[in-house]
Amino acid sequence: MSLSNETKFQQIIQGCCQRNRTSQNALYRLFYPYGMSICMRYVNNEAEAISIVNDGFLKVFKNVKKYDSEKPFKPWFRKILVNTAINQLKKQKKFKMEVQMQEANNISTQEDALSRISYQELMALVQSLSLAYRTVFNMYVIDGFKHQEIADKLGITVSTSKSNLTRARAKLQNLVTEKIK
């Protein structure tokens, strides 16, 4: 951000700390698209993503005084959204993550074809994965969680997390291969 934009952003944050509705609205408008891009990776439809984004913003507004203004805002905000998405998914009891490690060992590797499709096409393919595979894939590959963290947050074993990631990658490879044929 430029110095002027950084100053405006700090003013918005200060306003949010004082529970100023105008500042909260400004922050919401500024980061809503980013928030939606995060949440759409975890849920099946836009309505669920909107719900998670709104819940995430409520958490931001309640905890904005804990934000360290010396650090970038986006990673802090992303962590809140990812945790909110995971918590909402857990509440809905949608996880059925039982996958045998023997099944994961039978997956063959294929040629890397990612350079032939667009980001939007790839994200659509990720969205087509089952909820269990998509969640682990997003947390590990995109958001940088470790398998132990994923297991702890989702209430699964580390081996299930690894297995789901392996299966998600294999499924994505198959989908990409089909897409470019």
Question: H-helix or E-strand containing 150?
Answer: helix 147-154
pLDDT tier for residue 30 given thresholds of 50, 70 and 90: very high
Single pTM value for the model? 0.67
pLDDT tier for residue 37 given thresholds of 50, 70 and 90: very high
When pLDDT is averaged across residues 113-141 and rounded to a whole number, the result is 83
Helix (H, G, I), strand (E, B) or coil at 116: helix
Could you tell me which of 119, 112, 107 has the C-alpha nearest to residue 176?
A: 112
Under 8 Å between Cβ of 119 and 133: no
What's the pLDDT at 64?
Answer: 95
% of the chain at pLDDT higher than 90: 57
| HEC secondary structure over 3-49 | HHHHHHHHHHHHHHHCCCHHHHHHHHHHHHHHHHHHHCCCCCCHHHH
- Higher-confidence position of 107 and 30: 30
Q: How far apart are CA 76 and CA 60, in angstroms?
A: 9
Q: What are the distances in angstroms from CA 55 to CA 20, 35, 48, 61, 65? A: 18, 11, 11, 10, 17
In the predicted structure, residue 92 carries a pLDDT above the cut 90: no
